[in-house]
Each structure stands twice: as C-alpha cells, then as structure tokens.
Amino acid sequence: MQENGYPIEIIRTERVGYIVYEDNQQVVAEPFSDTPV
C-alpha cells in the first residue's frame, strides 16, 4: 500500500483500548480515556 501512496503507520502497545473493528489486515481501536495521545 505504501508503494501506491497510502501512508502506513504501525503502533504497538499493550493497552490498545476498545477494539472497534478488526480484520486480517488492520485493527481500529478507541483508546481508553486515561491513555495519553
């Protein structure tokens, strides 16, 4: 995807937050309220 102009950012953490969506390629999570941005 990066080769086609889509930015890719990998973030790793032990406290992801609330999982909103997940598939084989991606995870979308809403951080916990006490998670610093």
Q: Is residue 17 part of a domain?
A: yes
Is 3 a member of any domain? no
Tell me if 1 is assigned to some domain.
no
* Strand 18-22 to 27-30 pairing: antiparallel
Structural domain harbouring 30: 12-37
Q: State how many domains the chain has.
A: 1
Residue 7 in domain: no
**What integer pLDDT is reported at residue 5 of this predicted model?**
92
Residue 36: pLDDT over 90: no
Residue 5 lies in a domain: no
**What is the pLDDT at residue 19?**
94
pLDDT tens profile 8-28: 888 888 888 999 999 998 889
